[in-house]
Amino acid sequence: MINNPITHITSCRLPTEYGVFQMHGFEDTRTGQEHVALVMGQVAGAEPVLSRIHSECLTGDALFSQKCDCGPQLQAAMQAVQQAGRGVIVYLRQEGRGIGLINKIRAYRLQDEGMDTVEANLALGLPVDARDFSIAKHIYNHLGVQSVRLLTNNPEKIQTMRDSGIEIAERVPLKVGKNPENEGYLHIKALKLNHFLKD
């Protein structure tokens, strides 16, 4: 068993609408999958760091889909880090809650026909959520992050991080991106996936 499957490959400066980040590239040696961390300011040490663990969502992050809240969450997290002056966005390449892009499109088709996001995955014989949030632990370790203020509505992320030995000093809500197209999706995330989305 590989104790640390995540290898740091390289880094560079990344100027964005939300300030200048240092972008670090990592590879999962088990799968060849590539992941990224966007870092602003000094993050190593015991002082809690504002952080978002964001799973890739091509449709929401890059194509501005209104079927989910992913794009607005990523933008809000980057803005929050900019305002704090320091923080880490861990961007995990786990499209469609880990089922992949094509399967995500298949699930979207079933949702168009009336299924919810959970029912669609199960109808395809896929897990409701196949993501591995523990990858972030190894990325935090490389960056020297010992404690985080986690930008999330997802209790599983909190539990996974704690199970992995990451100290969660605080959960910071990230309720953005609600629109008429995704009201049902957000309702199901709260109802079936226990996300903290209730007003």
Residues marked active site are found at 129, 131
Cβ neighbours of 128 (radius 10 Å)? 15
Assess contact for 23 and 35: CB atoms under 8 A.
no
Strand order in the sheet with 167-172: 6-16, 19-28, 34-40, 87-92, 49-55, 147-151, 167-172
Nearest to 198 by CA among 170, 161, 172, 173: 173
